[in-house]
Structure 1
Amino acid sequence: MIRSKTSLAAKSLLAWLRLTNRKRTYAELDRFRRSIESSQAKGDRGPIRSIRRRFDVQRSEVDGRPCYTIRPPGGGDGKRVLYFHGGAYVHQIQHDHWRFFGRLIDRTGCAVTVPIYPLAPEHQCPETTAFVRRAYDVFSAGAGPEEQIVMGDSAGAGIALALTKALRDEGSPVPKETVLLSPWLDLTMTHPAQPALDRRDPYLALTGLNEAARLYSGRLPRTDPRLSPLSGDLSGLGALSVYIGTKDVLLSDARRLRTLCTEQGVPLSYHEYEGMIHAWMLASIPEARLALEEIAHLVDRSLVKTV
């Protein structure tokens, strides 16, 4: 499905990004490295005040790292979303993520669990992947795969798909739904379309993404499926859904996933929004509200039991 109409609010957001030159954070290496230091210096602050005020927030730990489960008052209806936040594997979770979770809970009555996974450069892919697997085991305990929705944006979407593929490969049940928002699925960053996409993208840039990929991959080749889950067999992964915008340097990843799914006969719910930037579904614009309704449908259609 391709959405072609761009709202005035979205055009204003694009204009603001260009006016303030937000792309410099990813386009200039020194600035990108400073952004990593600044983001990680803030540490874990947990959900923002408005989320704590309106919802039931429970903090737990996996391997000594915080994980937050957010439920509607009264506990919700049993649907569970395990969400991995974006940030190029180097940036902390942002306020927009928490606001998105609040809107999703309001719309669906689900519970959202957010593991705060370890970030590069201090932590690299093998450690992060192992933590993600243990977090999944902890938060899926007592629930069948038909009750599980795994979701993420950007780097978190790459984590989500890598997790689902790992579960399949080891013969474990996979989640009913895997939902990928502006996914970063190939850390090699070698697709020939990406330089042209870089010029259109007002936010991300190949310079910063390649640095983040270097920091996160460490000694692993970037083709490792834990880093680049786009390649290989895509069958047996449950329901897959992708949301992407055309002004996102990662558009080529999403389109390649669509092509591979078609070639392999794998069903994919594909949603491409004309003129949208990276992770636009977290913003306060009409297109984000439309995407939320579609994402909520994916959560609602999961089979649930009352808990």
Structure 2
Amino acid sequence: MKGEVGGVPSLRSRALSAALAASGGRRPLASAEAVRTRVAQSARRPASHLPPRSLGRVADVSRTFVGAWPVYDVSPPGDESAAQVLYVHGGGYVGELARPHWALVRNLVTRARARVVVPAYVLAPRGTADRTVPVAADLLSGLIASGGAGGTVLLGDGAGAGLALAAAQRLRERTGAQPSRIVLVSPWLDVTMSRPEQAEIGAPDREGLREAGRLYAGTLPPDDPRVSPLYGSFAGLAPMAVFGGSRDVLAADGRELLRRARAAGVEVEFHEARGLPHGYPLLPVPEGRAARERIVELVRSAADL
């Protein structure tokens, strides 16, 4: 399934897109300098990754540690979950879990009745791909092995989608195991940012993302599949669903993923919303709500795969 979602973007989404464009250099990944500033500030005063207190009113929330990673377990209270989700958050590998991420987790718990496991992985430049991908693959492996009648869904947005896909590729290489489904929202899959159409959509963001990608790559080349899973093999991966906006500088990654995955025989459900920006399924706009409803449906149906 491939489709462009909707026709003219809603009034609310157009207003939000205009506000994001007007923010210019104030965006945290708007330039290489902005990324370096953010990393320096985080080193002095790390941002909180704690879930909002309100989440505890609708879910059971606990925290464990996997090595240096705090890992949150969020489940429907007093109710066996219908599925389990490993959710890997975005933020260009330099940004912590934030309210929009936790809002998505809340939606999955309350609407899909899912147990959601949320790692607060170590950010770049301390957390580099050679260290981060194996830990994420271990988490995914453990979640799949723990079973669950509702199946296991691997979900990521932005940079988290890149880490999620790299972890799925790593796990396939180790054991051949896969989750029931992989769901990727505005995926960042190639940190080289080398596609010509990216310069047309967002030249400043392109330079900021390239710098963030360099920090995440560490000593690895930027086209190593652990850093940029678009260059890895897609054979044997789980069925995928991909959501992106046509006004996202990362839209090209989603389109190339569709081509490569289908060429490898992977089932892909592809949604591209016309005129929408990066991460639109996490935004409070009509198109975002429709995308979240589809993600809920995909999580609910994981047991049928």
TM-score (norm 2): 0.92
Q: 1:180 to 1:11 in 2, by over 3 A?
A: same
Q: Among residues 162, 168, 171, which one is paired with 2:175 in the alignment?
A: 171
**CA deviation after TM superposition for structure 1 residue 238, in Å:** 1.4
Q: Among residues 19, 22, 28, which one is paired with 2:22 in the alignment?
A: 19
**CA deviation after TM superposition for structure 1 residue 48, in Å:** 0.8
Instruction: Give the superposed CA RMSD.
Output: 2.0
Q: Partner residue of 2:256?
A: 256
Q: Cα deviation per residue 1:89-124 (whole Å; 9 max; x = unaligned)?
A: 111111110011111222110111101111111221
**CA deviation after TM superposition for structure 1 residue 145, in Å:** 9.8
**CA deviation after TM superposition for structure 1 residue 290, in Å:** 0.1
Q: 1:165 to 1:93 in 2, by over 3 A?
A: same
Q: 1:215 to 1:137 in 2, by over 3 A?
A: same
Q: Among residues 13, 31, 39, which one is paired with 1:10 in the alignment?
A: 13
Q: Partner residue of 1:230?
A: 230
Query: In 2, are the aligned partners of 1:145 and 1:175 still within 8 Å (CA)?
Result: no
**CA deviation after TM superposition for structure 1 residue 24, in Å:** 4.7
**CA deviation after TM superposition for structure 1 residue 228, in Å:** 1.1
Q: Partner residue of 1:129?
A: 133
Aligned AA for 2:222? R
Q: Among residues 83, 101, 106, which one is paired with 1:102 in the alignment?
A: 106
Say whether 1:285 aligns with 2:285.
Answer: yes
Q: Partner residue of 1:158?
A: 162
Unaligned runs of 5+ in 2: none
Say whether 1:77 aligns with 2:81.
Answer: yes
Could you say what secondary structure the match of 1:25 adopts?
coil
Inter-partner Cα distance in structure 2 for 1:76 and 1:275: 39
**CA deviation after TM superposition for structure 1 residue 76, in Å:** 3.8
Could you say what secondary structure the match of 1:188 adopts?
coil
**CA deviation after TM superposition for structure 1 residue 221, in Å:** 0.8
Could you say what secondary structure the match of 1:80 adopts?
strand
Q: 1:145 to 1:254 in 2, by over 3 A?
A: farther
Query: In 1, are the aligned partners of 2:149 and 2:303 still within 8 Å (CA)?
Result: no
Q: Partner residue of 2:38?
A: 35
Q: 1:131 to 1:233 in 2, by over 3 A?
A: closer
Inter-partner Cα distance in structure 2 for 1:142 and 1:29: 41
Aligned AA for 1:217? A
Q: Cα deviation per residue 1:188-240 (whole Å; 9 max; x = unaligned)?
A: 211122111215xxxx7111101101111111111111111112431211111
Could you say what secondary structure the match of 2:275 adopts?
coil
Could you say what secondary structure the match of 1:193 adopts?
helix
Could you say what secondary structure the match of 1:260 adopts?
helix
Percent of aligned positions that are identical: 36
Q: Partner residue of 2:274?
A: 274
TM-score (norm 1): 0.91
Inter-partner Cα distance in structure 1 for 2:264 and 2:271: 19
Q: Cα deviation per residue 1:143-201 (whole Å; 9 max; x = unaligned)?
A: 169711001001100111111111212233100100000000111211122111215xx
Inter-partner Cα distance in structure 2 for 1:145 and 1:73: 17
Q: Among residues 55, 62, 74, which one is paired with 1:58 in the alignment?
A: 62
Could you say what secondary structure the match of 2:72 adopts?
strand
Query: In 2, are the aligned partners of 1:157 and 1:182 still within 8 Å (CA)?
Result: yes
Could you say what secondary structure the match of 2:229 adopts?
coil
Inter-partner Cα distance in structure 1 for 2:226 and 2:281: 25
Instruction: Tell me which moved more, 88-97 or 3-12.
Output: 3-12
Q: How do 1:200-211 residues align onto structure 2 when only pairs under 5 Å count?
A: 205-211=205-211
